[in-house]
Amino acid sequence: MIIKAENISYTYSEGGPFEKAALYNVSLTINRGDFVGIIGHTGSGKSTLVQHFNGLLKPESGRLTVDGIDTSEKKADLKKVRTKVGLVFQYPEHQLFEETVRKDIAFAPVNMGLSPDEIHDRVIWASRLVGLPEEILDKSPFEISGGQKRRAAIAGVLAMKPEVLVLDEPTAGLDPRGRDEILRQIKKLHDETGITVVLVSHGMEDIANTVNYLYVMNNGRIVMHGEPMKVFSRYEELEEMGLTAPQVTKLMKKLCGLDVCTVHQAKEYILGVLRRA
Amino acid sequence: MLKDITLGQYFPGNSFIHRLDAMIKLILSAVYLVIIFLIKNFYGYGLLAAFTLFTIIISTVPLKFVLKGIKPLLWFIIFTAILNLFMTGGTVIWQFGFLKLTKEGISFAVFMMLRIVFLVLGTSLLTYTTSPIALTDGIERLLTPFGKMGLPTHELAMMMSIALRFIPTLLEETDKIMKAQMARGADFQSGNLIKRAKALIPLLVPLFISAFRRADELAIAMECRCYRGGKNRTRLNESKIGYPDIIACVFVLLFALAIISVNKAG
Ligand SMILES: Nc1ncnc2c1ncn2[C@@H]1O[C@H](COP(=O)(O)OP(=O)(O)O)[C@@H](O)[C@H]1O
Ligand SMILES: [Mg+2]
């Protein structure tokens, strides 16, 4: 396993007038090569949790280890942890700052102290992975489209060649086409390179098709986990938490009491039934 | 680090101090500041400390929280004290090269430190117990006489309330961008001065861009709701000066008189 959280809790501005407990006794494990989803409605603590994964936040109690490194330890090498676990923030395009997209993607490799050749290779590699055309690399990050900005920002994290890629709501604010493209590329990245991916989302449809394990958060706690199909089959509970299972899951449950979480599976099943009839 | 900045923070509550009229509170705070500089001896400072402590207690803002406001100014206070310590002429009690320690210097340095500390405590208590909206409203009413002379008081007050309103937002944004760049290996804490200044670019560029974007959006949103400045604008909450305000004024007046008489005694 690469990330392991044991009973971690976290409170924002402890002792102040706006003290806010955000995580209570959260435990989870993420294994190498996994494609893990974390879902929960806004304010359930997803972003707080994933910021623990690369040591930006340290648990108040409990323990979090990344590839055996305890992030709370005084002499823990956090720089190393941050290159192992690449974290793409919500609305990552807000962090772009360089004159050209190329320089912006190169920011992390430069910070890692790599050679110019290596940096160049990584920029090309990362921008190809997220589907950014080469001619865009020399434009200003402020003159390209919203979807391209988002890709450039994701490439900026990928350029560290992390072992785990954590994406905090990567599709927020994108149109359906941009959303599908980003998700497809992430899936492709996972399949081709075998990188471990953690995908945070509040939309079910995003996650149903892609992840192989799912954690559900509510009010700072992990309330359910398991394979997507198992989790979605409890959609009444999900709805009580303000989440919805994919439409097709509900439909298939009503039609034939079957647990299904993607349109593709539903199609296969219905076709099967029709053929037999 | 960012958590230490308490300036302009509001500590919600419903104490006697919270309920005072904002304009009265502003005037009384100004009187308090003048009193700090009138004090001539340590008895006066004792009285001042007692008065300040009393107001903090009835304001229900935790003392720990009020004292936190001094932390970011600690170096400034120490620096001022040291400067005063060695720069004041008078009876020399210890000398090392050009450094002269005088009796007057010591008492002056201590006075200076106490003054800054009480200055910060008094002003932060004002912002802790007054919501930004009430505060700018109070300022606007205070400035009304100048409005007749052509000063755009409403616009000034509006600018101030917008600025105050956006302090927490900008701090939050700074925190987020800082974390995002740290996730890409940025290092804000180590290195020499030039390196550190350079490290701020990845933080400042996105911060400015988002601040401009927010300002733009806010201006459009205000225009959409027909905002057009101060003339003939009415208020949602008309503030009235009541008994508590009069009691507070009398109390501060008595305190001022007490300080003046103690000054004579010392
Ligand atoms: N910087 C912060 N300071 C104070 N409270 C915060 C901060 N960030 C998040 N919170 C609070 O912590 C809780 C969890 O937030 P978050 O982890 O961002 O949830 P999610 O990503 O699931 O929407 C929320 O109630 C939020 O208001
Ligand atoms: Mg979030």
Q: Whose CA is nearest to atom 9 of ligand 1?
A: A48
Paired with B101 in beta bridges are B94
Q: Which tokens belong to A105? A: 């993607």
| Predicted confidence (pLDDT) at residue A216 exceeds the cutoff of 80 | yes
Residue B20: band (very low, low, confident or very high) from pLDDT cuts 50, 70, 90: very high
A156 CB neighbours in chain B (<8 A) are 184
Domain region containing B192: 154-233
**Closest-CA distance of chain B to residue A24, Å:** 22
**Range name among A45-59, A144-158, A162-176, B158-172 with the lowest pLDDT average:** B158-172
What count of CB pairs under 8 Å joins A to B?
A: 60
Task: Give the burial class of A40: count Cβ atoms within 10 A of its Cβ; 0-12 exposed, 13-18 middle, 19 or more buried.
Answer: buried
Same domain, B167 and B260: no
Contact A97 B206 (CB under 8 A): yes
Same domain, B197 and B94: no
Strand A196-201 and strand A35-39: pairing?
parallel
CATH number of domain containing A115:
3.40.50.300
Same domain, B189 and B92: no
Atom in ligand 1 nearest the alpha carbon of residue A40: 22
Q: Which tokens belong to B126? A: 């004002």
Contact by Cβ (8 Å): A261, A246: yes
Place of tokens 């009393």: B54
Same domain, B126 and B46: yes
Residue B265: band (very low, low, confident or very high) from pLDDT cuts 50, 70, 90: confident
Same domain, B225 and B188: yes
Rounded distance between C-alpha atoms, residue B54 and residue B72, angstroms: 24
Whether A277 is covered by a domain: the verdict is no
For A8-44, what is each residue's pLDDT tens digit? 999 998 876 778 899 999 999 999 999 999 999 899 9
Facing residue for B182 by CB, picked from A16, A56, A142 = A56
**Of A54, A3, A49, the residue nearest A26 (C-alpha):** A49
Same domain, B22 and B118: yes
Which protein residues touch ligand 1 with a CB less than 6 Å away? A 12-13, 20, 22, 40, 42-48
Q: Is A171 left (phi over 0), alpha (psi -120 to 50) or beta?
A: alpha
Same domain, B204 and B256: no
Which of A58, A104, A111 to mutate to test binding with chain B, by most B CBs within 10 Å of its CB? Answer: A111
Whether B253 is covered by a domain: the verdict is yes
Whether B17 is covered by a domain: the verdict is yes
Domain count for chain A, please give it. 1
Residue B4: band (very low, low, confident or very high) from pLDDT cuts 50, 70, 90: low
| Predicted confidence (pLDDT) at residue A153 exceeds the cutoff of 60 | yes
> How far from B184 is each of A56, A109, A182, B180, CA to CA, in Å?
11, 8, 20, 7
Say what the pLDDT of residue B169 is.
Answer: 87
Domain count for chain B, please give it. 2
Rounded distance between C-alpha atoms, residue B31 and residue B266, angstroms: 22
Facing residue for B11 by CB, picked from A17, A156, A160 = A17
Higher pLDDT, A205 or A165: A165
Is the reported ipTM for this assembly greater than 0.90?
no
Same domain, B224 and B246: no
Whether B199 is covered by a domain: the verdict is yes
Chain A residues with at least one Cβ partner in B under 8 Å: 13, 15-17, 51, 54, 56, 79, 82-83, 86-87, 89, 92, 94-97, 107-108, 111-112, 142, 156-157, 160
**Closest-CA distance of chain B to residue A92, Å:** 8
Which of B124, B128, B184, B214 to mutate to test binding with chain A, by most A CBs within 10 Å of its CB? Answer: B184
Q: What DSSP letter does each residue of chain B carry, written as one string?
A: -GGG--TT------SHHHHS-HHHHHHHHHHHHHHHHH--SHHHHHHHHHHHHHHHHHHT--HHHHHHTTGGGHHHHHHHHHHHHHH--S-EEEEETTEEEEHHHHHHHHHHHHHHHHHHHHHHHHHHHS-HHHHHHHHHHHHHHHHTTT--HHHHHHHHHHHHHHHHHHHHHHHHHHHHHHTTT--SSSS-HHHHHHHTHHHHHHHHHHHHHHHHHHHHHHHHTT---STTPPPSS-----HHHHHHHHHHHHHHHHHHHHHHH-
Contact B177 A95 (CB under 8 A): yes
Rounded distance between C-alpha atoms, residue A260 and residue A230, angstroms: 9
For B137-152, what is each residue's pLDDT tens digit? 888 889 888 888 888 8
Whether A267 is covered by a domain: the verdict is no
B206 CB neighbours in chain A (<8 A) are 94-97
Q: Is the dihedral of CA A110, A115, A118, A120 positive or negative?
A: positive
Q: Once rounded to an integer, what is the mean pLDDT over residues B180-198?
A: 87
Whether A102 is covered by a domain: the verdict is yes
Atom in ligand 1 nearest the alpha carbon of residue A220: 14
Rounded distance between C-alpha atoms, residue B199 and residue A112, angstroms: 14
Domain region containing A118: 3-245
For A230-263, what is each residue's pLDDT tens digit? 888 888 888 888 887 778 888 888 888 777 777 8
Q: Which tokens belong to A181? A: 């493209």
Length of chain A: 277
Paired with A142 in beta bridges are none
Say what the pLDDT of residue B2 is.
Answer: 53
Buried b / exposed e along A120-157 (16+ C-beta atoms within 10 A): eebbbebbebbebeeebbeeebeebeebbbbbbbbbbb
Strand A196-201 and strand A164-168: pairing?
parallel
Q: Once rounded to an integer, what is the mean pLDDT over residues A254-277?
A: 84
Rounded distance between C-alpha atoms, residue A51 and residue A55, angstroms: 7
Contact B184 A160 (CB under 8 A): yes
Q: Once rounded to an integer, what is the mean pLDDT over residues A147-159?
A: 94
Say what the pLDDT of residue B131 is.
Answer: 86
Contact A82 B185 (CB under 8 A): yes
**Closest-CA distance of chain A to residue B214, Å:** 13
Contact by Cβ (8 Å): B114, B127: no
Whether A235 is covered by a domain: the verdict is yes
Say what the pLDDT of residue B1 is.
Answer: 44
Whether B44 is covered by a domain: the verdict is yes
**Range name among A100-109, B86-95, B176-185, B198-207 with the lowest pLDDT average:** B86-95
| Predicted confidence (pLDDT) at residue B8 exceeds the cutoff of 90 | no
Whether B140 is covered by a domain: the verdict is no
Whether B112 is covered by a domain: the verdict is yes
Contact B202 A94 (CB under 8 A): no
Same domain, B10 and B118: yes
Same domain, B162 and B126: no
Looking at the complex, does the CB of residue B182 fall below 8 Å from at least one CB of chain A?
yes
- What's the pTM value of the predicted model, to 2 decimals? 0.80
Whether A129 is covered by a domain: the verdict is yes
| Predicted confidence (pLDDT) at residue B97 exceeds the cutoff of 80 | no
**How many angstroms does the Cα of residue A200 sit away from the middle of ligand 2?**
8
Contact B201 A97 (CB under 8 A): yes
**Mean pLDDT score of chain B, rounded to an integer?**
86
Place of tokens 């823990």: A76
Length of chain B: 266
User: With pLDDT > 70 as the criterion, what percentage of chain A qualifies?
Assistant: 99
Same domain, B103 and B40: yes
For B230-259, what is each residue's pLDDT tens digit? 777 777 777 788 899 999 999 999 999 999
Atom in ligand 1 nearest the alpha carbon of residue A20: 5
Whether A15 is covered by a domain: the verdict is yes
Paired with A65 in beta bridges are A4, A70
| Predicted confidence (pLDDT) at residue B3 exceeds the cutoff of 70 | no
Q: Whose CA is nearest to atom 16 of ligand 1?
A: A45
Contact by Cβ (8 Å): B44, B51: no
Facing residue for A82 by CB, picked from B177, B183, B202 = B183
Whether A213 is covered by a domain: the verdict is yes
| Predicted confidence (pLDDT) at residue A191 exceeds the cutoff of 60 | yes
**How many angstroms does the Cα of residue B196 sit away from the middle of ligand 2?**
29
Q: Once rounded to an integer, what is the mean pLDDT over residues B86-108?
A: 79
Q: Whose CA is nearest to atom 14 of ligand 1?
A: A45
Contact A95 B201 (CB under 8 A): no
Rounded distance between C-alpha atoms, residue B53 and residue B74, angstroms: 20
Task: Give the burial class of B123: count Cβ atoms within 10 A of its Cβ; 0-12 exposed, 13-18 middle, 19 or more buried.
Answer: middle
Spatial CB neighbours of B137, under 8 Å, sequence gap ≥ 6: B22, B23, B157, B235, B239
